[in-house]
Structure 1
Amino acid sequence: QLAALADANNDGRLNAEETLNGDAMALLETAGVPLKDDTADNSKGSGLMHHKFMVIDQKHVIFGSANFSNSDIHGDAGAGHTKGNTNHLIKVNDQALAQIFRGEFEKLWNNQFGINKESGSTQEAMVGTAKLQVLFAPHKRSNPSNGLAIIANTLKQAKEKIDLALFVFSAQELTGVLEERVRAGIKLRVLVDPGFASRSYSELLDIMGVSLPDKRCKLEAKNKPWQKPLMAVGIPKLANGDKLHHKLAVIDGKTVISGSFNWSPSAAHGNDETLVIIHSAQLARHFTREIDRLWGGANLGISPGLEKKLDKAERFCGKVMTNREVSP
């Protein structure tokens, strides 16, 4: 991968200059930039140091779903058919917001990572007329300020529609909230990364009303397929090798959920994460266009590939799947 990324003159060999220029961490070290990772607290590391944010001059903040990597921005090194994982970045020019993010950075720089970090409750900043709510994870499961609870409370406020584009969706409690909202008449659209969508613990399966056991023929704990499945869920059409890497929700065309925070227990209770809720109709319009773009050509409902996996699991494990008939 380094050879494919760094071979600037395409001669099939790496010289010392190419090797250095293709290695981001080596460039930082050569320049004397101090570096830390999540083992700096003398632990084996947090679940993941999963933040993707920058604070510049204490007045600009860049955050979102994109890792600062070739594959997330441009495509996989050596795989010209890839276009880069589907992501977003948001830049906000605001000193108050920058101060909130700088506070999180200082905790990390002082060797507070993972669950050992003193993660607080939601912090707010007004940027013009837009209110931003920021939460940094992780939290203990008993903490009512954890990220999944914040997302659930935001979803419960939906009155008309919810659009989701998610890399990972494995939080059972959020699926329950969505089911309640759909019963209340809310229009729901869900897209999940193709590589995750048909895993046994994917909540997309619940929404489609099916269960898929793991390799040991075990179902996810507290698994609860919907009794009235939805068709308006599925996977986007992406270049082979690319991922749907958003962690994105648009609610009622006026609220956006963004950040590094996958909709999973690991994000809430193990990883260093950023969760941002932005109340802005203007930003919501931008992200609705992105979801509309992904929706075009998406494979909705039970795909042929998933149908084969369900049939194979049923032959191997017995009849454990339910609600195979998906209705609108």
Structure 2
Amino acid sequence: MRRLRWQVVAVATVGLALVLEALPSALLWLRAWRLRRQRRPQREVLFFPSQVTCTEALLQAADAGPSAPLTGCGCSLPHTESSLSRLLRALLAARASLELCLFAFSSPQLGRAVQLLHQRGVRVRVITDCDYMALNGSQIGLLRKAGIQVRHDQDLGYMHHKFAVVDRKVLITGSLNWTTQAIQNNRENVLIMEDADYVRLFLGEFERIWDEFNPTKYTFFPQKKRGH
């Protein structure tokens, strides 16, 4: 009987030691779980014109990858946050997908960010207005040359939307055309929000337009005559 008691005590002691050993990990997991539950959805409002600051270091870091050390670009521009740099950060946060629906797109910084995401393996789709496809300074041709899918309208009215959806969970929308003129000179606004209901609505609109602008449905291509 005494031997059995000692065995029970030994088993209990070992069990207690295992519980105490696992307790810190369990507490860390619980804390991380609580932080995830308590994390507030992303909400940010940007106003333009944006202060002219350096964005090169941000783009270089995105190009080099997350493990690369940050290096300065050496330019004389202020190395501080601006509305443009915050917009770039919101875009560069994409890991899986990026839907762009833009009337005008000529900003070289934003165009470079989109190409970096494409090179990283992010699925990028772009919808734009047909009148903006071949304008001087437009980024659309460069995006298409990089292999990014682009569709445009064939209507008389403008495709005047200005929104983006990052990873199907973050909406970027507002009055801003993605042009240097608008970014540096115009009074504009951009709302960045993580809201499932609004994202779903904008994704639905994107998919509807994406299907409507399918090149197989264009009517301005010459039709082949029967028998030829």
- TM-score normalised by the shorter chain: which range applies? 0.5 to 0.7
Matches of 1:146 and 1:191 in 2, distance apart?
Answer: 26
1:200 is aligned to 136
1:261 is aligned to 176
The RMSD of aligned alpha carbons is 2.3
Query: Contact between 1:138 and 1:146, CA under 8 Å: does it hold in 2?
Result: no
1:236 Cα deviation from its structure 2 partner? 2.8
Paired AA for residue 181 in structure 1: L
1:33 is aligned to none
How high is the TM-score relative to the length of structure 2? 0.62
How high is the TM-score relative to the length of structure 1? 0.44
- 1:291 maps to which of 206, 212, 217: 206
Q: Spell out, residue by residue over 1:239-276, the C-alpha distance to the aligned partner (whole angstroms, 9 max, x if none).
A: x2x11111100111110001111111122210111111
Query: Contact between 1:167 and 1:246, CA under 8 Å: does it hold in 2?
Result: yes
1:138 is aligned to 49
Query: Contact between 1:138 and 1:272, CA under 8 Å: does it hold in 2?
Result: yes
Q: Spell out, residue by residue over 1:194-242, the C-alpha distance to the aligned partner (whole angstroms, 9 max, x if none).
A: 1112212111110112xxxxxxxxxxxxxxxx3xx23x2120343x2x1
Does residue 251 (structure 1) correspond to residue 162 (structure 2)? The answer is: no
1:146 Cα deviation from its structure 2 partner? 3.2
Gaps of 5+ in 2: 1-39, 54-77, 221-228
Alignment of 1:25-174 (within 5 A): 130-142=41-53, 144-174=80-110
Gaps of 5+ in 1: 1-128, 210-225, 306-328
- 1:235 maps to which of 145, 152, 164: 152
Query: Contact between 1:160 and 1:187, CA under 8 Å: does it hold in 2?
Result: yes
Query: Contact between 1:148 and 1:265, CA under 8 Å: does it hold in 2?
Result: no
Q: Spell out, residue by residue over 1:118-143, the C-alpha distance to the aligned partner (whole angstroms, 9 max, x if none).
A: xxxxxxxxxxx644201111123126
Matches of 2:141 and 2:84 in 1, distance apart?
Answer: 19
1:154 Cα deviation from its structure 2 partner? 0.8
- 1:184 maps to which of 102, 105, 120: 120
1:168 Cα deviation from its structure 2 partner? 0.8
Matched pairs, number: 155
Matches of 2:171 and 2:210 in 1, distance apart?
Answer: 18
Does residue 275 (structure 1) correspond to residue 190 (structure 2)? The answer is: yes
Q: Spell out, residue by residue over 1:271-325, the C-alpha distance to the aligned partner (whole angstroms, 9 max, x if none).
A: 111111011122111100000011013155xx999xxxxxxxxxxxxxxxxxxxx
Structure-2 change in CA distance of 1:245 and 1:145 (3 Å): farther
1:166 Cα deviation from its structure 2 partner? 0.2
Query: Contact between 1:254 and 1:282, CA under 8 Å: does it hold in 2?
Result: no
Identity of aligned residues (%): 27
Matches of 2:154 and 2:204 in 1, distance apart?
Answer: 16
Matches of 1:253 and 1:183 in 2, distance apart?
Answer: 19
Counterpart secondary structure, 1:258: strand
Q: Give the structure with the larger helix fraction.
A: 2
Matches of 1:275 and 1:182 in 2, distance apart?
Answer: 23
Matches of 2:125 and 2:219 in 1, distance apart?
Answer: 20
Q: Spell out, residue by residue over 1:1-39, the C-alpha distance to the aligned partner (whole angstroms, 9 max, x if none).
A: xxxxxxxxxxxxxxxxxxxxxxxxxxxxxxxxxxxxxxx
Q: Spell out, residue by residue over 1:124-171, the C-alpha distance to the aligned partner (whole angstroms, 9 max, x if none).
A: xxxxx6442011111231264333322211111101100000011001
Matches of 2:208 and 2:81 in 1, distance apart?
Answer: 33
Matches of 2:81 and 2:49 in 1, distance apart?
Answer: 10
Q: Which has the higher contact order (CA 8 A, sep 6+)?
A: 2
Matches of 1:283 and 1:175 in 2, distance apart?
Answer: 25
